């Protein structure tokens, strides 16, 4: 055997020195790891660039400084967005006297006017990275600013200024900011282009959200397909705001109650405001569209949670007043599942899940929305008892139908346990039916012990696994049958696999994969998801499989404490919640087994405070239905079939027997890796 410490090896090791440590400057990190900032380099991420620029203009409108926004999609693939707001400041920046404030904002991460309270009461986020990220990921960008009756312009390419700020002369009748950018094909590829229908739908929705703004749309006719909903030119202005939005979504469908429940609420102490419009269609046509500071939150969040609580409490209080005792069986799902809901909140310092802002996680918002809407809902109900009784009875019928279906389909847990041979290490829940139950699949006995202490014994079961399970995608049937961990999962779930799979025999409503928030945990989660995809795919397709989101850090400063999912979330909290704090204590969790049961319950297991990611095929739903419809209209391929084939191929590449396929994938995608464990 050769000596591992021979001189030739030492020479190679010595070559790793200070010169190998790379320091990324300016916007280089964005181009190197775009997924950290816009969630990827796919079509959705491409459109996210347009949202970032549009959100800046909307912030000006919401702050009362603009009433008109113009959007134009060009034949060259670029887009121009302009407003008649105050205009980005162009005077020299105090910290960088040789640069204008415009150049600093466009070319420096975490710069902007939304960190100080005075500039914007509410805005789409305090990250200070939006337009600088757009600049970094565009091969051509220019900005014109009309300010103090003078016109200025500066050009950029891939995050770098292409010259100094130019003063173009007097412009007495113009004000505001105009941004043109063309996404960089080096980042997004030549095949990805803006889709008119998607931009058109989002522009329309923004106009609904703030009735004080007029949005003018223009698109080169050559880009619009014959069956597209987009028009070459249009003007969006909706004086009734969300009520107009709701009516456009319902399209004159019959309602149980003719008048929608809607309103505008100014929160006390200048905490923000709430707009809402809710109707109950006569037929199943339920949907829920929510926004925070005009940012779509397709994954919901604390504002939706507050609304659910307010509607349920208000309805039950009215039922008690009207002496309708049957209303005791109503749940929030019964109220919401038949409702058409549009909710928009404007708050200070919103906290989102991730930079793409798909879920609102500001904990105080739930209580704000609940308290603000509940009393108004009760007043709305009591103002017309006859109509309200019709609504209440229809919701009671929905609840009775739910209970009847549960009685027909629910399997007695006692009899199911007698028929099934359950694994010995399963800590089962005590509920006699499957409704409301969930099983946590955790790695190791240590994590299993903590989870068993933190669980709700009535509804939550825990199944600990030993180490990394078998990669079933590349294993033989005999290996799968002989593997204890795999067989324990199959027995615990009770629904069989492959051709013997029967969804109605599933013993739980949710299957939750709960692993450590590190690389090993991610590997185990990938193996488990592969198992379910290959052996019980219908579980994923029907939405039964979830991924828990345990924290990696606990941050404490005085009486202020918070949990961070990862390093990016930690940095985000440092820039927002903990900004200006001189002393911050960090605790890094080594694993689930090291977490006190109380903290594990609070952060990861308790339904009222945890965050779950639903595993779907091919990806999580992260856009509104109307945007999805717009995408579908522009897509000439059979998307569901094509995407399923893509998923099959991807899993075969990553989890199959051919190592060279994994090597090829790594080589092609290494540049998009956003987190490297060194």
Q: Where are the domains of the chain?
A: 28-236, 242-409, 413-550, 637-678
Residue 345 pLDDT exceeds 90: yes
In Å, how far are 43, 52, 186, 206, 531 from 200, measured between CA atoms? 15, 15, 26, 10, 40
Catalytic residues: 443, 516, 518, 520
Strand residues in 158-240 grouped as ranges (E): 160-161, 166-170, 176-183, 214-219, 233-236
Angle at 613 between CA 275 and CA 183, to 5 degrees: 75
Residues 6+ apart with CB under 8 A from 664: 653
Residue 468 pLDDT exceeds 50: yes
User: Hey, how many other C-beta atoms are within 10 angstroms of the C-beta on 120?
Assistant: 20
Determine the average pLDDT of the residues in 343-356.
83
CA atoms of 459 and 544, how far apart (whole Å): 15
Q: What is the pLDDT of residues 202-222, one digit of tens each?
A: 999 899 988 889 999 999 999
Return the higher-pLDDT residue of 533 and 461. 461
- The predicted pLDDT at position 352 comes to 84
Q: What stretches of 438-575 show up as alpha helix (H) in DSSP? A: 444-454, 477-482, 484-493, 519-535, 537-541, 567-575
CA atoms of 192 and 533, how far apart (whole Å): 29
User: Hey, how many other C-beta atoms are within 10 angstroms of the C-beta on 594?
Assistant: 15
What token pair was written down for 514? 């709960």
- The predicted pLDDT at position 317 comes to 94
User: How confident is residue 35, by pLDDT bands cut at 50, 70 and 90?
Assistant: confident
Q: What is the pLDDT of residues 616-662, one digit of tens each?
A: 875 433 323 333 444 444 443 334 434 444 555 666 666 665 666 65
Return the higher-pLDDT residue of 439 and 37. 439
User: Hey, how many other C-beta atoms are within 10 angstroms of the C-beta on 191?
Assistant: 7
Residue position matching structure tokens 């040789």: 98
Give Cα 608 to chain centroid, integer Å. Answer: 18
Mean per-residue pLDDT over the chain, rounded: 82
- The predicted pLDDT at position 5 comes to 44
Residue position matching structure tokens 């190592």: 659
Please state which of the ranges 411-415, 574-578, 636-640 shows the lowest mean pLDDT. 636-640
User: Hey, how many other C-beta atoms are within 10 angstroms of the C-beta on 480?
Assistant: 17
Determine the average pLDDT of the residues in 539-557.
90
User: How confident is residue 594, by pLDDT bands cut at 50, 70 and 90?
Assistant: confident
CATH 2.60.40.10, applies to 413-550: no
- The predicted pLDDT at position 479 comes to 82
Residue position matching structure tokens 């709430």: 274
Q: What is the pLDDT of residues 256-284, one digit of tens each?
A: 988 999 999 999 888 889 999 999 998 76
CA atoms of 584 and 556, how far apart (whole Å): 6
CA atoms of 98 and 104, how far apart (whole Å): 10
| Cβ proximity of 213 and 61 under 8 Å | yes
Angle at 211 between CA 208 and CA 213, to 5 degrees: 100
**413-550 has the same fold as 242-409:** no
- The predicted pLDDT at position 646 comes to 56
Return the higher-pLDDT residue of 16 and 31. 31
- The predicted pLDDT at position 32 comes to 85
Residue 467 pLDDT exceeds 80: no
- The predicted pLDDT at position 191 comes to 87
What token pair was written down for 355? 């930079």
What's 242-409's CATH class?
alpha beta
The domain 28-236: what is its CATH number?
3.30.565.10
Q: Is 654 helix (H, G, I), strand (E, B) or coil?
A: helix
Return the higher-pLDDT residue of 185 and 635. 185
Please state which of the ranges 70-84, 126-140, 504-518, 631-645 shows the lowest mean pLDDT. 631-645
- The predicted pLDDT at position 624 comes to 32
Residue 125 pLDDT exceeds 50: no
CA atoms of 501 and 479, how far apart (whole Å): 19
Residues 6+ apart with CB under 8 A from 270: 121
- The predicted pLDDT at position 270 comes to 83
Residue 157 pLDDT exceeds 50: yes
């Amino acid at each position: 055997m050769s000596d591992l410490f021979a001189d030739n090896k030492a020479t190679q090791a010595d070559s790793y020195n200070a010169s190998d440590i790379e320091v990324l400057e300016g916007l280089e990190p964005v181009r190197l790891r775009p997924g950290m900032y816009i969630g990827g380099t796919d079509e959705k991420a491409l459109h996210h660039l347009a949202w970032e620029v549009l959100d800046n203009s909307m912030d000006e409108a919401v702050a009362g400084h603009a009433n008109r926004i113009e959007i134009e999609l060009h034949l060259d693939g670029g887009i121009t967005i302009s407003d008649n707001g105050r205009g980005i400041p162009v005077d020299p920046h105090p910290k960088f006297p040789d640069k204008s404030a415009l150049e600093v904002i466009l070319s420096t991460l975490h710069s902007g006017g939304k960190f100080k309270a005075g500039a914007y009461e509410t805005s789409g986020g305090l990250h200070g990275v939006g337009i600088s990220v757009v600049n970094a990921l565009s091969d051509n960008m220019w900005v014109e600013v009309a300010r103090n009756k003078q016109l200025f312009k500066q050009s950029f390419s891939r995050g770098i200024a292409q010259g100094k700020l130019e003063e173009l002369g007097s412009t007495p009748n113009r004000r505001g900011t105009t941004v043109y950018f063309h996404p960089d094909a080096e980042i997004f590829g030549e095949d990805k282009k803006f889709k008119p229908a998607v931009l058109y739908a989002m522009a329309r929705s923004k106009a609904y959200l703030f009735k004080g703004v007029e949005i003018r749309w223009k698109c080169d006719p050559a880009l619009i397909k014959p069956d597209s909903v987009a028009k070459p030119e249009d003007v969006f202005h909706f004086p009734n705001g969300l009520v107009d939005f709701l009516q456009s979504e319902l399209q004159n469908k019959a309602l149980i109650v003719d008048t929608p429940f809607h309103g505008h609420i100014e929160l006390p102490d200048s905490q923000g405001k709430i707009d809402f419009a809710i109707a109950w269609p006569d037929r199943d046509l339920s949907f829920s569209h929510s926004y925070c500071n005009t940012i779509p939150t397709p994954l919901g969040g604390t504002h939706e949670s507050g609304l659910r609580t307010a509607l349920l409490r208000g309805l039950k209080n009215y039922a008690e007043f009207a002496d309708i005792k049957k209303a005791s069986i109503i749940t929030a799902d019964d109220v919401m599942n038949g409702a058409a809901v549009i909710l928009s909140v404007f708050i200070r310092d919103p906290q989102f899940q991730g930079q793409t802002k798909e879920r609102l996680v500001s904990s105080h918002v739930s209580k704000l929305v609940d308290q603000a809407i509940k009393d108004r809902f009760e007043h709305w109900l009591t103002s017309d008892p006859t109509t309200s009784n019709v609504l209440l009875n229809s919701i009671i019928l929905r609840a009775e139908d739910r209970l009847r279906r549960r009685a027909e389909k629910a399997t007695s847990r006692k009899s199911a346990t007698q028929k099934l041979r359950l694994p010995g290490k399963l800590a089962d829940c005590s509920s006699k039916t499957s409704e409301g139950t969930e099983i946590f699949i955790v790695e190791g006995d240590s994590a299993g012990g903590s989870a068993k202490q933190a669980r709700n014994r009535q509804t939550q079961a825990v199944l600990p696994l030993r180490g990394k399970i078998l990669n079933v995608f590349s294993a033989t049937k005999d290996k799968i049958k002989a593997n204890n961990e795999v067989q324990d999962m199959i027995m615990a779930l009770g629904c069989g696999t492959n051709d013997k799979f029967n969804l109605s025999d599933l013993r739980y409503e949710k299957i939750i994969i709960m692993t450590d928030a590190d690389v090993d945990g991610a590997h185990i989660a990938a193996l488990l998801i592969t198992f379910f995809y290959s052996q019980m795919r219908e579980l994923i397709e029907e939405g039964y499989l979830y991924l828990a989101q345990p924290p990696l850090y606990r941050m404490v400063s005085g009486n202020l404490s918070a949990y961070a999912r990862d390093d990016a979330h930690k940095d985000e909290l440092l820039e927002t919640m903990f900004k200006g704090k001189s002393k911050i204590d960090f605790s890094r969790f080594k694993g689930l087994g090291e977490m006190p049961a109380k903290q594990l319950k609070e952060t990861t297991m308790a339904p009222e405070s945890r965050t779950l990611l639903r595993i779907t095929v091919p990806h999580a739903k992260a856009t509104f239905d109307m945007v999805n419809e717009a995408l579908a209209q522009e897509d000439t391929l059979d998307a569901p079939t094509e995407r399923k084939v893509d998923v099959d191929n991807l899993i075969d590449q990553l989890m199959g027997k051919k190592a060279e396929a994994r090597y090829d994938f790594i080589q092609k995608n290494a540049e998009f890796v956003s987190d490297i464990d060194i």
